[in-house]
Amino acid sequence: MPQSSDTPVPLASPDVTETEIQAVVAVLQSDRLSLGPRTVSFEQACARRAGRRHGIAVNSGTSGLHLCVRALELAEGDEVITPSFSFVATTNCLLFERVRPVFVDIDPDSYNMDPAAVAAAVTSRTRAILPVEVFGNTAHFDQYEQLARAHGLAMIEDSCEALGGALGGRSAGGFGQCGVFAFYPNKQITTGEGGMIVTDDDVLADRCRSMRNQGRDSAAWLSHARLGYNYRMSEINAAIGEIQMARLDEILAKRRDVAQRYHRCLGDIAEIHLPPMADPAHASWFVYVIRLNDRFSAADRDRVMEHLAHEGVGCNKYFVPIHHQPYVKPWVGDGVHLPHTERVAARTIALPFFNHLTDAQMRRVKVCLQDALRRVTPRVFTG
Ligand SMILES: *Cc1c(COP(=O)(O)O)cnc(C)c1O
């Protein structure tokens, strides 16, 4: 059916087929709704993809990060180096355990933490590095790993935006002690809600497996070896994930195609920077985030977004820096100095991005964006 020119274009849209629906029906017709074969199979698929020996399915990416923090025994008084330019879950998993986040600035060419800034932030209290593949970009992950080794630090890879991505032949989720994926509906693959820890470390894997299931030890159902949580993933969610994982390469190829079409479509707009991506041939695109150039203010960006929203074009600020959130301030004080994070975060706009985005929808996004830019273009006075 042809789309009229004012049909809204959503920011994200999950790609779920009849195969996922049939897999869910099959689970519901079985007598195993939690901790069954679908979960095991989904765990194995994610571990294999990350080049890891263990996969531990949980009910969200945030839960996965929290269990990694607990399993590594990070605690009050410890410092963890992490970006403020990320989704809040990256920091929340530390605050749950009263671990102090130490925010370092980004490299403005990749939007990931600047490795030099990471090195400069190490103190005697630093216990770990918690880097994020921002928007799916794997840049610098080999360097973070080297830094962690050199300083005797743990590394948790927040790969919640990078499932299936790679850097120099190594997979996202394969750097550091452990990696975490997430399956909320706007991610590359979805289970509705869900997350996955991947690791080669047997002890860490056992602890996470136990803590997601009320601290049970593996032997007896009512024997609780430690304080745990109910962070289990249901068989229903795992069945969706299993099919989505089998489709991952097809999904990533579609997303690379949409990103390339966006590059071509928007490449002639002088006012914007296109999104950076390391290793484009193996890229795992999470979102497509453009950035207005430095002549625009944060208020200009907000007005561009208002116009897009008014025209029915989905958009969002990726990200509001984590240190701007009121509940985070007491942990870091007012002295945070992250000039690149501030400059970039004030000017980014996530555009509609999903597997089946059509050329017509993309053209509509471009027309609305150009309209919006004309309305707010800063006056340049010469002579
Ligand atoms: C999505 C995401 C998470 C986890 O989100 P959940 O909603 O808990 O699954 C964590 N970190 C980052 C950077 C994310 O984008």
> Tens digit of pLDDT for each residue in 249-265?
999 999 999 999 999 99
Burial 237-254 (b: 16+ CB within 10 A, else e): bbbbbbbbbebbeebbeb
CA distance 15 to 9: 15
Structure token digits, residue 190:
């979805």
Burial 304-316 (b: 16+ CB within 10 A, else e): bbebbbebebbbb
Report H helices in 181-268.
202-211, 235-246, 248-266
CB 179 within 8 A of CB 52: yes
According to DSSP, the residues that pair with 79 across neighbouring strands are: 100, 126
- Check pocket membership of 78 for ligand 1, CB cut-off 6 A: no
Of 150, 225, 224, 164, the C-alpha closest to 198 is: 164
Q: Which stretches in the chain have pLDDT values below 50?
A: 1, 383
Mutate to test the pocket of ligand 1, among 87, 113, 130 (most ligand atoms within 8 A of CB): 87
Q: Is the peptide bond before 319 cis (omega within 30 degrees of 0)?
A: yes
- Give the per-residue pLDDT at 383: 42
Of 315, 321, 274, the C-alpha closest to 293 is: 274
- Give the per-residue pLDDT at 381: 54
- The tens digit of pLDDT for each residue in 281-337 reads 999 999 999 999 999 999 999 999 999 999 999 999 999 999 999 999 999 988 899
- Give the per-residue pLDDT at 75: 97
Q: Ligand 1 centre and the CA of 199: distance in Å? A: 18
CA distance 154 to 146: 11
Q: Ligand 1 centre and the CA of 353: distance in Å? A: 17
- Check pocket membership of 350 for ligand 1, CB cut-off 6 A: no
DSSP string spanning 45-81?
HHHHHHT-SEEEEES-HHHHHHHHHHHTT--TT-EEE
Nearest 5°: phi and psi at 371? -55, -50
Q: Ligand 1 centre and the CA of 5: distance in Å? A: 33
State the Cα angle at 278 between 264 and 46, rounded to 5°: 110
Nearest alpha carbon, ligand 1 atom 6: 61
- Residue 351: its H or E element: strand 348-351
Give 215: exposed, middle or buried? Use CB within 10 Å, 0-12, 13-18, 19+. Answer: middle
Mutate to test the pocket of ligand 1, among 65, 161, 233 (most ligand atoms within 8 A of CB): 161
Contacts of 32 by beta carbon, 8 Å cutoff, 6+ apart: 38, 235
State the Cα angle at 284 between 41 and 211, rounded to 5°: 40
